[in-house]
Amino acid sequence: MRSLVESADGPPASIELVDVNRLNLGWLLKLRWASIVGQSATILGVEYVMGVQLPLGALAAIVGLEAVTNLACAVWHRRRPVVLERHLALLIGLDLALFTGLLYFTGGPTNPFSSLYLIHLSLAALAVGPRYTWTLVAVTLACSAALFQGHVPLAMGGHDHAAMGHYGMHLKGMWVALGVAAVFIVYFLDRLKRALADRESELRRARERTARQERLAGLAALAAGAAHELASPLATIAVVAKELERGLALQPAAEDARLIRSEVGRCSDILAELAVDAGQARGDPPTTIRLGALIAGVKHGLGDDPRIVSTTDDALEGREIRTHVRLLTRALKSVVDNGLHAVGETGQVRLGADMVGGRLTLSVSDDGPGMSPEVAARALDPFFTTKPTGQGMGLGLFLAASVAEQLGGELRLRSEPGRGTTVTLEIAA
């Protein structure tokens, strides 16, 4: 269900729409600053370079009012207010009025820059809905028509007028106005297309994360169900074994009772790890650990296999990080174990770590046969494996990627046939 924000003068607006309006307001404020600079440069250039006399006082007051309102809007925008379409429409309407004022003092409809009304309408079409857009179209036509009824003519003079005449200057101004409008429209629409492409990419990644979380939730439910169903019989076995051990304390069968209790304890530990294997951090609060101890724990969990080689600097191994140690260790063990299966009896798996700006990067590289592009594309899918039947369930990389996301990072995989595979986990630490 979408969250709603109540409007004082209309129906509630969705949170998504409010965010879009706030983004549009930010863009509009940036464009207004660019417009203020461009208008100031144009006024000074016409007055002092082209020698055309302008009412500088009136023009400065209009540009100053535009700057003051833009500064006030910028301060308001930084407070992250609820921005509605009517706010954007009012700001564009104010710009139309101020632009009309500039044209009034600079020749009215004879000013070649009067065609820049189209820029305001382009902004309106992109930023607000049809109702406000057509209202602004009507306002634009009214402002333009008013200039035909009255305006301050340009006091033409100087060498440019003598050489080319008023019509020649008007044609040059139209060419400049065309260039300004073209640059604005192309630039703004290009940025808009890139913003839409980025939004689409983010939505695609969000859909992928949601799909992974749904699959992960299924695994977690399976683990929780198994733990719930097995907890009671295991507890009963443990109690009975303890009583049996007491009753047979002086008999050889006592050793068998102790073995039963030991195996029950082992089963309980396995059940406790099921949630961690399913990528859940519950029961595993963040703790502080040295990087060297983390790497040593991974190697020890895999039997201190000599094929595992640490490439982390000694100084960095003493660095302390704060993370979900048990969760991260299990994820790394899964990735390293995959590497060990890939390299065979004579290869190596290199486990390295690096810290940059509060981000921990853990890399696992092997010199195995690598993956084809087709296999690499599916490597993070659950239950996908290239191992022989009975040697893997295809969950190692999937769960490792889920762990990386839970820890505020991501997992990246790079593999080429014949050149091995590198898996990188980057997390916040």
Domain membership of residue 115 (yes or no) is yes
Domain end: 277, 297, 325, which one?
277
Q: Based on the fold, state whether residues 264 and 307 are members of the same structural domain.
A: no
Using alpha carbons, select from 30, 1, 10, 34 the residue that is nearest to residue 82: 10
Q: Based on the fold, state whether residues 47 and 125 are members of the same structural domain.
A: yes
pTM of the entire predicted model: 0.47
Q: Based on the fold, state whether residues 273 and 291 are members of the same structural domain.
A: no
Q: Based on the fold, state whether residues 114 and 10 are members of the same structural domain.
A: yes
Rounded to the nearest 5 degrees, what angle is found at the Cα of 426, between the Cα atoms of 421 and 428? 165
- What is the secondary structure of 81-118 as a DSSP string? ----HHHHHHHHHHHHHHHHHHHHTTTGGGSGGGGGHH
Q: Based on the fold, state whether residues 252 and 141 are members of the same structural domain.
A: no
Q: Based on the fold, state whether residues 301 and 412 are members of the same structural domain.
A: yes
Q: Give 7's strand partners.
A: 10
Task: Please report the pLDDT score of residue 94 as a whole number.
Answer: 94
Task: Please report the pLDDT score of residue 220 as a whole number.
Answer: 63
Q: Which residues contact 290 (CB under 8 A, 6 or more apart)?
A: 317, 318, 319, 320, 321
Q: Based on the fold, state whether residues 12 and 143 are members of the same structural domain.
A: yes
Q: Based on the fold, state whether residues 123 and 264 are members of the same structural domain.
A: no
Q: Based on the fold, state whether residues 233 and 302 are members of the same structural domain.
A: no
Structural domain containing residue 101: 4-155
What span, in angstroms and rounded, lies between the C-alpha atoms of 102 and 53? Answer: 14
Terminal alpha carbon distance of the chain: 34
Task: Please report the pLDDT score of residue 162 as a whole number.
Answer: 41
CB atoms within 10 A of CB 26: 14
Domain membership of residue 370 (yes or no) is yes
What span, in angstroms and rounded, lies between the C-alpha atoms of 65 and 98? Answer: 8
Q: Based on the fold, state whether residues 101 and 242 are members of the same structural domain.
A: no
CA distances from 54 to 5, 64, 114, 320 (A): 48, 16, 16, 68
Tens digit of each residue's pLDDT, the chain (429 residues): 333 333 334 444 444 555 778 888 888 898 899 889 989 998 998 888 888 888 999 999 999 999 999 999 999 999 888 888 899 999 999 999 999 999 999 888 888 788 888 888 888 888 888 888 888 888 888 888 888 888 888 765 544 444 445 555 655 666 666 566 666 666 666 676 677 677 777 777 777 777 766 666 666 656 655 665 666 677 777 777 777 767 666 566 666 667 777 777 767 666 666 555 554 554 557 888 898 899 998 888 888 888 998 888 888 888 888 888 888 888 888 889 888 888 888 888 999 888 887 788 899 999 888 888 888 888 877 777 777 665 666 677 887 888 888 888 888 999 888 888 999 998 887
Q: What is the CATH number of the domain that holds 393?
A: 3.30.565.10
Cβ atoms of 421 and 339 within 8 Å: the answer is yes
Task: Please report the pLDDT score of residue 271 as a whole number.
Answer: 65
Task: Please report the pLDDT score of residue 89 as a whole number.
Answer: 92
Domain membership of residue 303 (yes or no) is yes
What span, in angstroms and rounded, lies between the C-alpha atoms of 250 and 22? Answer: 80
| Structural domains in the chain (count) | 3
Q: Based on the fold, state whether residues 318 and 250 are members of the same structural domain.
A: no
Domain membership of residue 136 (yes or no) is yes
CA distances from 207 to 59, 94, 319 (A): 52, 41, 36
Task: Please report the pLDDT score of residue 73 as a whole number.
Answer: 94
Domain membership of residue 195 (yes or no) is no
